[in-house]
Each structure stands twice: as structure tokens, then as C-alpha cells.
Structure 1
Amino acid sequence: MYARILGFAAVATCLAMPVFAAVTLGDAAGSYTISPAGSSIRFSIGKLGGGGFDGAFARFKGSIRIDNSDVGRSRVNITIFPESVGTGQSRIDAFLRSDAVFDAANNPEIQFRSTSVKRTGETSALVTGRLTARGKTFPEKFTAELSGLKAGTIKFHVTGKVLRSRYGMDVGTPIYSNVVHFDMTLTGKRS
């Protein structure tokens, strides 16, 4: 769910490329559709005393638009389908889909819509946006690093942290951390 935010960060990364880089911003400008085949949205939650669990979302979609003339006007939109969550442990997966966490039956989508993209380095950017999960919307930030551009395909590595309590998903705290760490690879195909 927080992964959507990370996807938006990916757009920011592309916009962060300098003119002297191997790939210029002009080369990356355009619209892209996120391809699930070359992408992944992973997360981890720590546990008091060590351990915790890792998971991923199998279904998501999104788009990236990189504005060559004004990086700040670039946009990232990501939708995650929480019923696709997987941890490799069926009992945990069912619990995460339940009304105690994602409430996937009543809230079938988690959405991230970027509101700003700010260049932070030659190939990096900070993407700020609004994350909506379980009917609650809050501003969130993700960092994005451009990791490739070739033949109409762009790739970003996106990371960020989200407090799950903001979205009514704080069951298990403080034994399980309130902080969800996201680590995403987003691959976009030029539209």
C-alpha cells in the first residue's frame, strides 16, 4: 500500500538527471506505463527483539510522466491491490488481507498520487504525494534513484518509510514496528 508512494518517487528520480549525465532529462521525458513484469513492490516490518516479516504485492499498476521543462510538474500515480499481498506464510497473508489490517474486501485499492517532485542529485529525487489506504489520506515522501533508461524503458529504485498507524493498521504494535519500510523496483514502458 505504501508502495504506491514509492512508485511516484521513481518519476522524480528520472527528472533528477543532470544535463551532463549519460542520459539527459530530455531523453527520459515523456509518459510511461509501469510494467509489473519488470517491477516489484516489497516491504518489511521489524519485530521487537529481532525478526519481523517481509512481503510484496503481486498486483499493482501505475504511470509516470516526466516533464522535461519543469521537473516539479512531473507526476507519478500508483494503485496497489492489497488482496495480492504475499509473505510466503498463508496465515499472515490472510491476516493482512483481513479487516484488522488492509480490509481488502472493503478497501480494494491503495493509491498514491504525487504532488511534487524535487531533484536531490544527478539521478535522484524526492517524490511527495498523497497516499490513500483504508479511506485515510496522508502526505508521504519517497526517494527515487534512476537505475536505467534504454529503448523506451525506464527503471527506478524507490525507497521510503510509512507509519502504518496513520492508516488504522497499527494492530500488533509495539511488538511489531509501526514503521513499514518499502523497497521498490519500478520499470516503465514509454506510452
Structure 2
Amino acid sequence: MNEEIEKTLAQLQLGNTVLYPTDTVWGLGCDATNPEAVQKIYNLKNREESKALICLVSDTRMLERFIEEIPEIAYDLLEAVDKPTTIIYDNPVGIAKNLVAADNTLAIRIPDDEFCQKLLRKFKRPIVSTSANISGQPTPKSFDEISNDIKNGVDYIVNLKDDKKAAKPSTIIQLRSNGEIKIIRK
């Protein structure tokens, strides 16, 4: 695994795209602070930029560096959830502008996955994490279900194809600065 982390890290540092296992489904990723890399993901997915992408951070310390003000309830929520949960926060900072939604929000998840955690800690920046499919197509439940267009379109495929993943997208909750909570996807 350590060799794959180093190879993936090198690709991210070059501004390249990667196909990698997450705590949910296989994801397309790149440096979330690099607008050119983010654009490559939108192009590969054939996705409109108006449809924002999720990114991963290693922990609440990293989260605090990229969100202007985290509502207190977010910490309780992160502690209470027992399955992969993405939270949409207001007012991201230091992130590629084309990753931020039109309403100035950003969807972020702290993954419970050894590979992702080690990679994020070494990279020290958020990584884009969007399902490995062309926009509008079903989310692949395993590596073998990922289309050749996606596999051939990324710069690097992480060589950890052991499909022990949940194979289900994360829950998505929007948490507004004013305390409003909205469940987007269960």
C-alpha cells in the first residue's frame, strides 16, 4: 500500500487525475486546490461545472483550514455518524474556484479508509472524490464496472483493486452557517 500511496502522491503533485478506492465507491480524484486538475475531472466525467464535486480531507484540522467557519453542530455530527457522510459547508477557502458551488458551498467528507487517510496526510491538501462514472451513468459498484472511457481517461489508476468497499455513495447533509440542516442523500 505504501508504494501505491507514493505513486498516487506523485501524480497529485503533478496536477494529474487518479482513479482510486475510497471508503465508499471508486473515485476520480485530483488536487482540490488546482483548478486545471479539477477541470480535467469535469471534462472526463462530461459533467457541467455547475454540478459541484465532493472532496476529501483527513480530519477536522484539515477541514478547518479550508472552511471559513464550521458550525459547532458539524463536530457533533461528524462524531455521531456511523457510515460515510459528506457535509456541505458554506464559505470554503483556499480551494480551486471551479470546485466551489455557485452558492459558495463545498461538499467534504472525512473518509474512514486507510489508503485515503494515509494519502491525505502525506498530501496535506484536500483531494477531489467523485464517483468513477460519466455524468448521468450509474455509479459503478466495483472496479470491473468502471467504464473503459474512465479508466483510459485518468492519468493513474491506483493498483488496489480489492473490492472490499461499501460500494454505496455517502450520505450527503447540507449544514448552513445559520444552523439549518438539510439531508440531500440518505
TM-score where L is the length of structure 1: 0.25
TM-score using structure 2 length: 0.25
Is the radius of gyration larger for structure 1 or structure 2? 1
